[in-house]
Structure 1
Amino acid sequence: MNLLRKILLPVVPVYYFITWLRNKLYDFGIKKSISYDFPVIAVGNLSVGGTGKSPMIEYLIRLLKDKVMLATLSRGYKRETKGFQLVQINSAAKDIGDEPLQFKTKFKNVMVAVDADRRNGILNLRNQEINPEVILLDDAYQHRKVKAGFYILLTPYYDLYCNDIVLPTGNLREPRSGASRADIIIVTKCPNTISSELKSSIEKKLNIKRNQVLLFSTIDYSLDIISGSKKRSISSLKDTSFTLVTGIANPKPLLEYYSSLGLKFNHLNYPDHHNFTDVELNRLKEHSCIVTTEKDYVRLASNFSEGALWYQPIEMKFISDQDTFDAKILEYIKK
């Protein structure tokens, strides 16, 4: 915890009360939420950054894209445009955000949109010529003007929300009691070897309700890295020294994974969703081999020739009970 956060500790009760009161006003119907007569699934977290929302959205896309007309709606964090935007394959990350562009690049037939106003975004999506039957809301757990029909809450294994406090000293966007709105809670980025005893311990700490389902997932790293149409194995990096560039909330799991493979690399760490300046880009171009994350790649790729910049694909993988998750989602949609 840095010094500024410690200094701001007296502000924590104020922030806690404001966010708690806001939730109660929505709970009691004093502030109005809009619900819908079609499936809306919200994915989010209680803490800021780095819980694995994008891999979760991509998992849901893979599960649903061949079964229903599907759309995703994101805020489009740090984009330079305003209002509703439909994402196209040739869109620029600065106009629609890196994660929405990542979704569209990987799933070309899925409708992807951005709008900070989720109500307006849903309205615009439903007014499209091709009408989505299911909408996935990315990072919308605290967006209570919309009442989703199904909530998925993510919390990382190394930073459970039950061990944290609200901003500005802690990392929670709202009090821990907000977890009660979730239908499914997923502990993400777990070690593959997590024991049944530890799972049970975490379940008690999180105080899972009877109507909630708790699941555990991990990060599945592809054995290949990609640059445009090119692929090469991660093992080929053992013979060279490369630069790892990250602009994500928490690069620690990737660093640990590469270190476990015995890879030798220089790590350049930037803030989450970092917009690279011309000076920074020119400095990066001095490196002979750069590996980055998929989210960073969509922001950087247009500045590099194919083969000069590579990205590490990842997927979310359930440690167990994947069928339980899939069945819950499909059951909700069928209703």
Structure 2
Amino acid sequence: MPHPLALLLLPFAWLYALVLRVRNWLYDSGLKASAAYAVPVVSVGNLRAGGTGKTPHVAWLIAQLRQSGEKPAILSRGYGRRTRGYLRADAAATAATIGDEPLQHYQDFGGQVPVAVCENRRLGIDTLLRTEPALTAVVLDDAYQHRRVRPVLNILLMEQERPFYHDFVLPAGRLRESRHGAARADVVIVTKCAADLSVADQAAITARIRRYSRPRVPVLFSTYDYGAPVAVGASAAPAGREIVLLTGIAQPGPLRGYLTAAGYQIRHHAAFADHHAFTAADIAAVAGQLQPGQSVFTTQKDAVRLLEPALRPALAGLPVFYIPIEVRFLADGAARLRSLLPPLFQPQAVV
């Protein structure tokens, strides 16, 4: 049952959903143009606003493509950056210039994978293909609603704890479009699952998804594997099990759950909005919460923003660590997703 405030907002949500439905119909009917490309374009996105795990799933996909001999690039809008237009990540890039998630991708792959940002995805793809002629694939990060590009594989992510089939369109809920948008997905991945999610629970979730998706679309399930703390700056290792948690992500709950289960004691949680641009005052406030023997833990995406050049003096000397994460699929999910990739590299019709 929706929250009472959501009920009041439902008429606005219905109007918004209607506008989006007409827009999608125009693309589906061909009345609005949607471009295809000579190289495969893969889209990773969601229906719900907020964190569903796009960044680590894009990283997983890029790693698989590289292992199979392909030369992929990543194209993002660059949410939260202070620049506009097309930019290619390089050694001088910061979260302010290209956004935290693209910078994380650039660093994760050691600069060996082209990473670019552009609000206009068609311009971004055209520029990548012109400047990187060896590319064999482009992965679009957060482009499920970007209909001006026609992907050959449309991957829809959905958090287990926040399923789209229990949500409503903005502003009554958090959906960017109606639940029926799931019908465009070629594969649905249920993310941030409990590692021991039962087969029965997976079947029940799959059945709910298939009320909105196409009948035989694969529904896969993934979880996170958390790594050992990585120092941000000069710190060597956490001093103890007591920590101050610093996050600027949409859904810090899974990280809190992992840390608690791993035996860490969260003495204070400085929680900011997703993509928050940290300031020296924010860091000073966190430092003020630290007691002797405690460390600051954060996420890798937040660490990218904490290392902005202007913040490094404020960060110096603080024991700050990020917790790396990797995607792991349940059951045979990884093999099923990998099996969808080779057919993408057959000749594509270009429109």
TM value normalised by structure 2: 0.89
Could you say what secondary structure the match of 2:225 adopts? strand
Q: Which residue of 1 aligns with 2:122?
A: 119
Find the partner of 1:309 among 292, 299, 320: 320
* Aligned pairs for 1:23-34 within 5 A: 23-34=24-35
Match in the other structure for 2:152: 149
Aligned length: 331
Helix, strand or coil for the counterpart of 1:245? strand
Q: Which residue of 2 aligns with 1:300?
A: 306
Find the counterpart in structure 2 of residue 223 from structure 1: 228
5 Å-filtered alignment, 1:128-167, equals 128-167=131-170
Q: In the alignment, which residue of structure 2 is the partner of 1:318?
A: 329
- 8 Å CA contact retained: 2:241, 2:263: no
- State the partner residue of 2:186: 183
Which structure 2 residues correspond to residues 164-175 of structure 1 after superposition, within 5 A?
Answer: 164-175=167-178
Aligned residue number for residue 259 of structure 1: 260
Question: In 1, Cα distance between the equivalents of 2:74 and 2:144?
Answer: 14
Is residue 2:20 matched to residue 1:19? yes
2:214 corresponds to: 209
Aligned twin of 1:331: 343
Aligned-residue offset at 1:37: 1.9
> Is 1:197 the counterpart of 2:203 in the alignment?
no
**Offset from partner CA, 1:76-106 (integer Å, 9 cap, x none):** 0011100000011331111100000000011
Bigger drift between 123-132 and 12-21 goes to 123-132
Aligned to 2:249: 248
Residue 7 of structure 1 and its aligned partner are, at CA, apart by 3.9
Give the root-mean-square deviation of aligned CA atoms. Answer: 1.9
Q: Provide the C-alpha distance between the structure 2 equivalents of 1:267 and 1:2, rounded to a whole number of angstroms.
A: 27
Deviates more, 1:205-214 or 1:157-166: 205-214
CA contact 1:103–1:112 (8 Å) conserved in 2 = yes
Question: 218-227 vs 53-62, which deviates more?
Answer: 218-227
CA distance in 1: counterparts of 2:195 and 2:169, whole angstroms: 29
**Partner Cα distance (2:89, 2:341) in 1:** 25
Structure 2 CA distance for partners of 1:199 and 1:2, relative to 1, 3 Å? closer
Q: Distance in 2 between matches of 1:95 and 1:218?
A: 31
Tell me if the contact between 1:226 and 1:313 (Cα under 8 Å) persists in the aligned partners: no
Residue 194 of structure 2 aligns with an amino acid whose one-letter code is P
Query: What residue number does 1:281 align with?
Result: 283
- Separation (CA, whole Å) in 2 of partners of 1:248 and 1:153: 20
Gapped runs of 5+ residues in structure 1? none
CA distance in 1 between partners of 2:321 and 2:7 (Å): 39
SS of 2:340's partner is helix
The unaligned stretches of length 5 or more in structure 2 are: none
SS in 1 for 2:180: helix
How far residue 225 of structure 1 moved from its aligned partner, in angstroms, is 3.1
Partners of 2:118 and 2:51 lie apart in 1 by 21
- CA deviation map 1:239-291 (0-9, x unaligned): 34221101001101111111112311211100000012232233234436211
SS at match of 2:246: strand
Q: Is the 8 A contact 1:162 1:176 kept in 2?
A: yes
Identity %: 38
- Describe the SS at the equivalent of 2:168: coil
Contact 1:220 1:315 in 2 (8 A): yes
- The letter of the residue matching 1:80 is R
Contact 1:244 1:268 in 2 (8 A): yes
Quote the Cα distance in structure 1 between the aligned partners of 2:88 and 2:39: 20
Separation in structure 1 between the aligned mates of residue 63 and residue 346 of structure 2, nearest angstrom = 17
Aligned residue for 1:152, secondary structure, equals strand
> Partners of 1:56 and 1:330 in 2: how far apart?
18
Residue 137 (structure 1) shift: 0.2
1:58 match? 59
Counterpart secondary structure, 2:230 = strand
Q: TM-score, normalised by structure 1?
A: 0.93
Cα gap change, 1:70 to 1:229, in 2 (>3 Å)? farther
Matched residue of 2:146: which SS? coil
